[in-house]
């Protein structure tokens, strides 16, 4: 089989099986930027399932991304609890910090599991998944993102107060985590019923910039294990994502487990080089990255090709690597650099057949 | 307990994040006649300094830093009415997240760190128009401007803030920070310093003002 013969789905399946595909797969993680495909505003795109799906499909057409994303923002689970959202024309939506749902530690105990199919923002995301899977699911896998339960609580309470509650009121936080985890699991199962085969879980709090590993795992370790097990049981590929430079990678691999793909923002502290990272973790999961998103907004096409080539040399040997940014593609970045990622895979990322 | 022991226990209780104990000991110290300024300078502040050190060393993280700062501020509120005119600050910092950017958590934590390290903070909030940083710096007689950008799309606004401050107040000290900001941007934008976290921000401003 020659370069480019595989469909995206075949390419991803091969990598996940531990085989070498025709070439290195590329996940551009384009989301906000896809609004330019149809010339709509950010706010318009994320308030319409049809627009969101159309933007994503047009992006995949143009760039050749190896996955489609059924995703609006990191707040859909929190919105289902009743969190108010503020939509903007040219930036992502944000939660209304003047009217937080959890106003005191006692309010954690008022959280109740809800029907995800009836929650507006989740139902809209499920509709996006439906459209993407029906339109192109036979050749391109559909992915979605679910939030780390502590992140959902942070949105409902306000991050600073939530972090302080983790120390002052751990039992209240744990009660909230129980409820949120149930909701996230329900959401993940609903996504897989709509054809989503890749679920990304963002460990935003699981790093040294936020809290200690002991506190993070002590509060939430059981919840993350339960969540990941349920995602795998539903038949999805699990991608663990961490935006920070110092993630608790060994906790993610050893103590929580179940992951198929790992995406981190920077070289973990336990590794000297990317080749070392590949050697240490590459046999345990497919590695995904390693473009720091601001760099994709700052350099030119040729530089993207050159750096991608180096990443492929360091990380793609024998398969087990997906090229892409370590977080969302810059929403105001140059579109040509997303194309450069795919071009780099075609030029430098082919595997011998 | 001697005065120095009481003050030392106050500091240790700040480090241990024991809020009720800190507040109770602060009241007791004032009732027993310990000078209010000593309660701050020899009890609470050394405790908070140690918390900052533990944060830098990776022993404490954001939750501990935030709780300690809240404890410190609550205790200072108890002491304040007794201080009279004895309060001195290390300097005044104008802080804000730049135009087009609504991220406030990092900036709020930096503000807390400045306040608990002896600085007065003029918090401009989020989505702050470019010109307002320089205008407020001049109007408030501040020593430093601190500007934060948390997303790549607002980096151009951060650059404009630095340029605007340089144009209106050439001698102002300018600190930049935020998720996509790197030390390399200090030279590129013409600022004076970069900080990767709240404690680093305090250290950077300490250094700028003592230079």
Domain positions in chain A are 8-348
Give A45-66 pLDDT, tens digit per residue.
Answer: 999 999 999 999 999 999 999 9
- The predicted pLDDT at position B87 comes to 67
Return mean pLDDT, chain A: 94
Interface membership of A95 toward B (CB under 8 Å): no
What is the fold of A8-348?
TIM Barrel (3.20.20)
The helix/strand/coil state of B146 is strand
For residue A341, how far is the Cα from the chain centroid?
Answer: 18
Give the nearest partner residue to A215 out of B17, B63, B151, using CB atoms: B63
Give A206-257 pLDDT, tens digit per residue.
Answer: 988 899 999 999 999 999 999 999 999 999 999 999 877 788 999 999 999 9
Task: Match 């006649």 to its residue by tokens.
Answer: B33
Sheet holding A142-147, edge to edge: A68-70, A142-147, A196-202, A237-242, A261-264, A286-291, A321-325
The helix/strand/coil state of B69 is helix
Interface membership of A269 toward B (CB under 8 Å): no
Gap from A198 CA to chain B (nearest CA, Å) = 26
- The predicted pLDDT at position B86 comes to 61
- The predicted pLDDT at position A219 comes to 97
- The predicted pLDDT at position A122 comes to 98
DSSP structural state of residue B175:
E
Lowest-confidence region among A128-132, A262-266, B128-132: A262-266
- The predicted pLDDT at position B136 comes to 97
Chain A hits for B197, Cβ within 8 Å? 209
Residue A1 has pLDDT above 50, yes or no: no
How many alpha carbons lie under 13 Å from residue A353 in its C-beta half-sphere?
11
Chain B hits for A90, Cβ within 8 Å? 100
Measured between CA atoms, the residue of chain A closest to residue B102 is A94
Strand partners, A300: none
The helix/strand/coil state of B22 is helix
For residue A299, give Cα distances in angstroms to A275, A304, A338, B177, B183: 24, 7, 12, 21, 17
Gap from B193 CA to chain A (nearest CA, Å) = 20
In terms of Cα–Cα distance, which of B64, B77, B79 is closest to B16?
A: B64
- The predicted pLDDT at position A198 comes to 98
Give the nearest partner residue to B152 out of A90, A94, A297, using CB atoms: A297
Give the nearest partner residue to B61 out of A97, A211, A332, using CB atoms: A211
What is the fold of B91-210?
Rossmann fold (3.40.50)
Is the CATH number of domain B3-82 1.10.1240.10? yes
For residue A172, give Cα distances in angstroms to A108, A138, A191, A220, B152: 6, 44, 29, 13, 36
Give the nearest partner residue to A167 out of B63, B151, B180, using CB atoms: B63
| Kind and range of the H or E run holding B40 | none
Please, which contacts does A59-64 make with residues 24 or more away whose CB atoms are closer than 8 Å?
Answer: A59/A28, A59/A30, A59/A33, A59/A34, A60/A136, A60/A140, A62/A37, A62/A335, A62/A339, A63/A28, A63/A30, A63/A335, A63/A338, A63/A339, A63/A341, A63/A342, A64/A26, A64/A339, A64/A342
For residue B189, give Cα distances in angstroms to A82, A333, B138, B160, B184: 42, 19, 20, 8, 9
For residue B138, how far is the Cα from the chain centroid?
Answer: 19
Interface A–B counts its CB contacts (< 8 A) at: 52
Domain boundaries, chain B: 3-82, 91-210
The CA distance from B118 to A116, in Å, is: 48
Gap from B18 CA to chain A (nearest CA, Å) = 10
Chain B hits for A333, Cβ within 8 Å? 152
Give the nearest partner residue to A332 out of B109, B153, B197, using CB atoms: B153
Q: Hey, what are B137's tokens?
A: 């710096």
Chain B hits for A331, Cβ within 8 Å? 151, 153
Mutate to test the interface with B, among A43, A87, A167 (most CBs of B within 10 A): A167
CB contact under 8 A, A166 and B105: no
Q: With bands split at pLDDT 50, 70 and 90, how would you rate the model's confidence at A4?
A: low
Residues 6+ apart with CB under 8 A from B84: none
Q: With bands split at pLDDT 50, 70 and 90, how would you rate the model's confidence at A2?
A: very low
Which phi and psi (to 5°) does residue A303 adopt? -70, -35
Residue A129 has pLDDT above 50, yes or no: yes
Give A69-108 pLDDT, tens digit per residue.
Answer: 999 999 999 999 999 999 988 888 888 888 999 999 999 9
Ranges of chain B whose pLDDT falls below 50 = none
Which phi and psi (to 5°) does residue B154 adopt? -105, 5
Give A300-337 pLDDT, tens digit per residue.
Answer: 999 999 999 999 999 999 999 999 999 999 998 999 99
ipTM score: 0.91
Q: Hey, what are B35's tokens?
A: 């000078």
Q: Hey, what are B74's tokens?
A: 């609550």
Q: Hey, what are A131's tokens?
A: 């459209």
Chain A hits for B58, Cβ within 8 Å? 208
Gap from A21 CA to chain B (nearest CA, Å) = 33
Measured between CA atoms, the residue of chain A closest to residue B153 is A332
Task: Match 């760190």 to its residue by tokens.
Answer: B113
For residue A185, give Cα distances in angstroms to A7, A178, A191, A202: 30, 11, 10, 14
Chain A hits for B189, Cβ within 8 Å? none
- The predicted pLDDT at position B116 comes to 85
Chain B hits for A159, Cβ within 8 Å? 105
Mutate to test the interface with A, among B55, B152, B182 (most CBs of A within 10 A): B152
Residue A178 has pLDDT above 80, yes or no: yes
């Amino acid at each position: 089989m020659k370069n480019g013969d595989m469909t995206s789905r075949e390419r991803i399946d091969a990598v996940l099986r531990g085989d070498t595909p025709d070439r290195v797969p590329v996940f551009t993680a384009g989301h906000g930027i896809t609004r330019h495909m149809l010339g709509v505003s950010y706010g318009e795109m994320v308030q319409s399932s049809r627009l969101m799906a159309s933007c994503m499909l047009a992006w995949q057409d143009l760039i050749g991304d190896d996955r489609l994303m059924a995703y609006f923002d990191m707040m859909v689970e929190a919105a289902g609890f009743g969190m108010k959202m503020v939509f903007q024309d040219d930036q992502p939506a944000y939660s209304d910090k003047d009217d937080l749902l959890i106003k005191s530690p006692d309010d954690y105990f008022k959280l109740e599991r809800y029907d995800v199919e009836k929650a507006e923002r989740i139902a809209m995301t499920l509709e996006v998944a439906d459209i993407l899977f029906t339109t192109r699911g036979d050749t391109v896998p559909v992915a979605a993102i679910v939030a780390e339960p502590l992140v959902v609580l942070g949105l409902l309470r306000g991050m600073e107060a939530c972090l302080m509650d983790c120390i002052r009121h751990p039992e209240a936080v744990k009660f909230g985590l129980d409820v949120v985890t149930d909701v996230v699991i329900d959401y993940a199962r609903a996504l897989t019923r709509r054809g989503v085969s890749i679920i990304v879980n963002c460990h935003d709090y699981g790093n040294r910039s936020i809290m200690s590993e002991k506190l993070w795992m002590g509060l939430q370790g059981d919840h993350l294990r339960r969540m990941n097990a349920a995602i795998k049981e539903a038949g999805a590929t699990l991608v663990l994502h961490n935006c920070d430079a110092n993630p608790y990678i060994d906790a993610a691999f050893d103590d929580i487990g179940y992951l198929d793909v790992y995406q981190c923002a920077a070289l973990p502290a336990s590794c000297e080089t990317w080749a070392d990272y590949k050697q240490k973790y590459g046999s345990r999961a497919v590695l995904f990255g390693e473009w720091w998103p601001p760099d994709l907004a700052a350099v030119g096409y040729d530089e993207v090709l050159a750096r991608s080539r180096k990443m492929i040399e360091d990380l793609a040997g024998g398969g087990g690597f997906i090229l892409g940014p370590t977080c969302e593609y810059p929403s105001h970045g140059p579109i040509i650099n997303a194309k450069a990622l795919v071009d780099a895979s075609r030029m430098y990322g082919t595997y011998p057949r | 307990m001697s005065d120095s022991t009481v003050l030392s226990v106050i500091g240790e209780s700040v480090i241990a994040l024991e809020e009720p104990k800190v507040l109770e000991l602060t009241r007791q110290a004032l009732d027993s006649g310990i000078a209010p300024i000593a309660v701050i300078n020899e009890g609470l502040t050394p405790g908070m300094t140690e918390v900052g050190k533990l944060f830098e060393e990776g022993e404490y993280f954001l939750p501990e830093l935030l709780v300690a700062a809240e404890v410190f501020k609550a205790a200072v509120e108890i002491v304040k009415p007794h201080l009279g005119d004895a309060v001195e600050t290390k300097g005044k910092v104008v802080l804000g997240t730049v135009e087009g950017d609504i991220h406030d958590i990092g900036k709020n934590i930096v503000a807390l760190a400045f306040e608990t390290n002896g600085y007065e903070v003029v918090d401009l909030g989020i989505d702050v128009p470019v010109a307002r940083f320089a205008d407020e710096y001049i109007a408030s007689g501040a020593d430093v401007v601190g500007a934060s950008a948390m997303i790549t799309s607002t980096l151009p606004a951060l650059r404009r803030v630095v340029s605007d401050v340089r144009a209106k107040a050439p001698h102002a000290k300018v600190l930049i920070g935020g998720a996509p900001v790197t030390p390399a941007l200090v030279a590129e934008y013409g600022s004076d310093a970069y900080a990767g976290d709240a404690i680093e921000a305090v250290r950077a401003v300490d250094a700028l003002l003592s230079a």
